[in-house]
Structure 1
Amino acid sequence: MRKFLGFILLLAGLNVAAADVPAPEQLVRNTSKEVLEVIKTEKLSPSDKRFRDLVEAKVLPIFDFNRLTALAVGKYWRQASPEQQAALAREFRTLLVRTYSTAVGANKVQEINVKAVKMADADTDTTVRTEVITASGQPFPIDYRLLKTGNGWKVYDVAVEGVSLVTNYRTSFNQTIQKDGIDGLIKALADRNAAQPAKTSAN
């Protein structure tokens, strides 16, 4: 949970205007600093409306949730109907954002060091490696897989200390599908999200 915080926190800073998309390294470096400053200055917590708005404005647009969900579901994705695919992506997106909201209160990210990225101008798929430093723990690495699309660079996988988010969820998702089918996975995700609603205030 601690490391998931760093993952989403950095992603919260990755949104930029499609008309002026910098290289992935610079994108991560500039915007992660901006979002960290907002969170520290305003002392945001998951119960703040401002925090919710920041997540919705910054986190959601940078994800390719369809691709991320398809990779997590694996071979069963093609067996799902368009309606099932949409439901899976929607529930998975909610799960990721709400997991962050649960974790953020107990963590304090102090700094995010972005390492140099080696890539050619024509590259459309790259990995941005970072080191997250917290107030109470040892630094830990987070690697981001990004794909260049018509709407800019999109995150489609994240590896925390070498463990892929996609691979990690694929194991549990496949187990659920094998037991209860695709609708069973959708229900399991929906039930989990309903059991842990995001907390917001009237601020």
Structure 2
Amino acid sequence: MMQRRTLAAGVAAFSALWLAAPLATAAVETPDALVKRLSADILETIKADPELRNGNIARISQVVDNTVMPHVNFRRMTSAAVGPQWRQATPAQRERLQQEFKLMLIRTYAGALKQVSDQRVVVKPLRAAPEDKDVLVRTEVHGKGEPVQLDFRLENTDGKGWKIYNLNVLGVWMVETYRTQFAQELNKGGIDGLINALASRTIAADAKTAKSAQP
């Protein structure tokens, strides 16, 4: 039971960061400052927005499209999860993969928003040189129960700002986890097979949500 609550807290914190609304800044933030600001801002946003807490998919999708993507290198995240076969995909297939992967993630983590209550994110001291372009930001989510490890991989390859491309919840890296799952679908049906599998997961998740909403 404790492990389930701990995992839920970590997933909720990740969901919070995915819904983070950016603020205008005069200069490029350091990666740890970015994670700290987004975490604090969005936890408060979720607490104040019943539609987000209730898992309103339309509302979550709107926020993700409008405010999250500037802080995520989602192309890199998707390509890393797909693995070597990404290079064989056509531009149209790559777009579909990114879209279906995003929809799946939104629906996967939507339910975790209900877990957000009194959590706060503590960012640990950054171990990186000023010239580094790829860093690890380590955090802990504090709330009920034991603190939850939640780490982020960020890159700043163009000098314009840091972007998240992977995260670690309780020692498990998200991209690597999905790469293992995706490999099974790729081996069975190739790129189109993976696209169809992701779309099917989204349909199934929507059907489950609709059923649970029935009186």
Question: What range is the shorter-chain TM-score in?
Answer: 0.7 to 0.9
1:48 CA drift (Å): 8.4
Q: TM-score, normalised by structure 2?
A: 0.81
Distance of 1:4 and 1:94 partners within structure 2? 16
Match of 1:147 in 2: 155
Give the alignment of 1:12-161 within 5 angstroms.
Answer: 12-13=19-20, 15-17=22-24, 20-43=27-50, 44-45=52-53, 46-47=55-56, 53-108=62-117, 110-135=119-144, 137-150=145-158, 151-161=160-170
Q: 1:193 aligns with which of 178, 186, 202?
A: 202
SS in 1 for 2:129: coil
Q: Is the 8 A contact 1:109 1:132 kept in 2?
A: no
**Sequence identity of aligned pairs in percent?**
41
1:194 CA drift (Å): 2.2
For structure 1, the 5+ residue unaligned runs are: none
Distance of 2:12 and 2:25 partners within structure 1? 26
Q: TM-score, normalised by structure 1?
A: 0.86
Match of 1:180 in 2: 189
SS in 2 for 1:185: helix
Relative to its length, the structure with more strand (as a share) is 1
Q: Is the 8 A contact 1:62 1:154 kept in 2?
A: yes
SS in 1 for 2:201: helix
Match of 2:176 in 1: 167
Q: Is the 8 A contact 1:107 1:134 kept in 2?
A: no
Q: 1:6 aligns with which of 8, 13, 18?
A: 13
Distance of 1:166 and 1:42 partners within structure 2? 29
Deviations 1:43-102 (A, max 9, x none): 542238765544443323211111001111111111211111111111111111221112
Relative to its length, the structure with more helix (as a share) is 2
SS in 2 for 1:129: strand
Q: Is the 8 A contact 1:6 1:109 kept in 2?
A: no
With over 3 angstroms needed to count, the CA separation of the structure-2 counterparts of 1:195 and 1:24, relative to structure 1, is: same
Aligned length in residues: 199
